[in-house]
Amino acid sequence: MSNKNPTPRGWPGPAAGYSTYLQAPQEWRGTTVQVCGMWPFAAGTGSPMVGVPIGRNILSGATLCCDPISWFMRAKLISNPSMFVLGRPGLGKSTVVRRMALGLAGYGVQPLVLGDLKPDYKDLIEALGGQVIQLGRGRGHLNVLDPGESRKAALRLTGKAREAIRADAHGRRLTMVSALISIMRSAPPTDREETIIDEALKVLDERHPGTPVLRDLLKVVQDAPDRVRNVALDRGSLDRYRQLTEGLEASLIGLVGGGRLGEIFSEQTDNPMKMDRPVVFDVSSIDDSETNLQAAVLLACWSYGFGAVAVSQALADAGLEPRRHYFVILDELWRVLRAGRGLVDRVDALTRLNRQRGVGTAMISHTMSDLLALEHPEDRMKAKGFVERSGMVVCGGLPRAEMASLTEVVPMSEQEQNMLIGWQDPPAWDPATGAETAPPGRGNFLVKVGGRPGIPVHVDLTSVEREINDTNKLWKTDAAKLPPPDPATRIVAHG
């Protein structure tokens, strides 16, 4: 045999052991305790193992644990507990968020779904023993002037804490009334009108003994008290005041009279939100054709939910209630942003107030184009800021046209971009069954944190999760191939 060094495939020549095909060595995975003695033939996976188990790394097969609260509070991998999810419809955006919500519920974090349009989360919240609040035409009311638990909380607090909770409740009500008017008009109220609303709310709180509704606010504007006339700058003329407030009065009449936005906001809240359990606002009865109503209800749910969280945190800070952590889910973000000019500011004002300890947020939209399709450039820049300020960005399959705008906000290598583009390919046709196979990108996501390399992960549903997911809608899988659910692990809803 030749003494020459062998080639990568062995020594060439007859009977020399040369191999034309090299079979890949088998790989095994184990804990550090199990494989510690195999060094140097063991290597770490590099995927974080802090948080909710999401799935397996597509490249290494290692388990990835990921959620915005754990990565912020425990792992210190992100600067704020927020997440933005992007991806084409039908690839599982809501499913990966449900996985995080379910896992965080096991850690003691309460999921809050502030507006479920399909519904994607109702079954999950019911299975966790949570509260389902139905809203829609003839299906429930949500009073945007209801301070919720703020009034009771203020009585339990003292000093600056009491002033802060009252100011927060007032600001949210002002923001919500202005937002509803923006949706009614497709334009924001004027500065003068906002000042009038602000003062009218203060007068209303002093005059009204109980919880007011929009009809009571309208009456204050119509009664023209001196304080409201002063901020309206009517120069002592009641006729001038009527002219200045005519447009505002017309908008408020439209909100209480059952116009485009119906009667949902005109009456007292039917089902007050509870803070000690998971909650979902089921707004699936609102048809997709009623875009303005959908946007208004979503924004009202967000305002109401964030207000309740602020009260819970204030009471916990004062030592009057146990500290509760929340995972707030804001789905279909684009529907609200497109409903009228200035609504980006309203959403920004709502979400910024709750970037505090223990409160994680997840915003979900389809593509960057949804955020950049707003009419005014200042709104487009602020909408991009939602993605830029997110602690982590989770991307599903996206078209190539999205890459230019996405990489302006989230740095991505060419390989990562090609991966996302490949995941959005349409499903193939299976000639054996005569049906479409699953799209190649269904369940695949790329987790990005700043400029770090992304982590590609595939999410598989467990047998328990299949019971609380609409598999026909999001994860079309041949039912005959699925194992039957394990009765021992079935989740039972508690009343």
Predicted confidence band of residue 481 (pLDDT cuts 50, 70, 90) = very low
CA atoms within a 13 Å half-sphere pointing along the CA-CB vector of 395: 30
- Residue 67 phi, psi (nearest 5): -165, 150
Q: Which two tokens stand for residue 262?
A: 């119906």
Identify the pLDDT of residue 170: 92
**Token pair listed for 435:** 């049906």
Q: Quote the CA–CA distance of 6 and 22 in Å, as a whole number.
A: 14
- The yes-or-no verdict on residue 339 having pLDDT over 60 is yes
Q: How far apart are CA 384 and CA 440, in angstroms?
A: 28
Which pair of structure tokens corresponds to residue 31?
Answer: 């804990």
Place of tokens 């005059």: 207
Which are the contacts of 193, defined by CB distance < 8 A and separation ≥ 6? 181, 245, 247, 248
- The residue that leads in pLDDT, 376 or 315, is 315
Q: What angle do CA 105, 390, 60 make, to 5 degrees?
A: 70
- For 287, counting Cβ atoms within 10 Å of its Cβ (0-12 exposed, 13-18 middle, 19+ buried), the class is exposed
In the structure encoding, which two tokens stand for residue 312, read together? 């819970």
* Contact assessment for residue 248 and residue 201, using Cβ atoms and an 8 Å cutoff: no
Q: Which residue has the higher pLDDT, 436 or 97?
A: 97
CA pair distance 346, 332, nearest whole angstrom: 16
Please identify which residue in the block is written with the tokens 């991307």. 395
Residues 6+ apart with CB under 8 A from 6: 17
Question: Which is higher by pLDDT, 438 or 392?
Answer: 392
- Residue 35 φ/ψ, nearest 5 degrees: -110, 10
For residue range 142-189, list pLDDT tens digits in order: 999 998 888 889 989 999 999 989 998 998 899 889 989 988 888 889
Rounded average pLDDT over 481-486: 50
- What does DSSP assign to residue 178? H
Bridge partners, 417 (sequence order):
none
**Which burial class, exposed, middle or buried, applies to 167 when counting CB atoms under 10 A from its CB (0-12, 13-18, 19+)?**
exposed
Mention every residue, 6+ apart, whose C-beta is less than 8 A from residue 327.
Answer: 67, 68, 69, 100, 101, 104, 109, 110, 111, 112, 360, 361, 362
Residues facing 10 on adjacent strands: 7
Torsion over CA: 136, 139, 145, 149 (sign) = negative
Mean pLDDT, residues 280-306 taken together: 87
| Poorest-pLDDT segment among 8-17, 59-68, 148-157 | 8-17
Tens-place pLDDT, residues 20-41: 777 777 766 676 677 776 655 5
Amino acid occupying residue 234: D
First to last CA, the chain: 80
Asked whether the beta carbons of 197 and 133 are under 8 A apart, the reply is no
Mean pLDDT of 111-121: 89
- Cβ atoms of 483 and 462 within 8 Å: the answer is no
Beta strands 392-395 and 279-282 are unpaired
CA 249 to chain centre: 34
DSSP secondary-structure letter at 49?
B
Distances (CA, A) of 272 to 130, 280, 308, 351, 376: 13, 12, 10, 21, 36
Question: Which of 393 and 486 is assigned the larger pLDDT?
Answer: 393
**What whole-number distance in Å separates Cα of residue 472 and Cα of residue 489?**
22
pLDDT exceeds cutoff 80 at 435: no
pLDDT at 16: 78
Give the residue from 346, 249, 261 showing the smallest Cα distance to 297. 261
Tens digits of residue pLDDT in 223-233: 999 999 999 99
In single-letter form, the type of residue at position 295 comes to A
Q: How far is CA 473 from the centre of its chain?
A: 20
86 within 8 A of 395, measured Cβ to Cβ? yes
For the entire predicted model, the pTM comes to 0.81
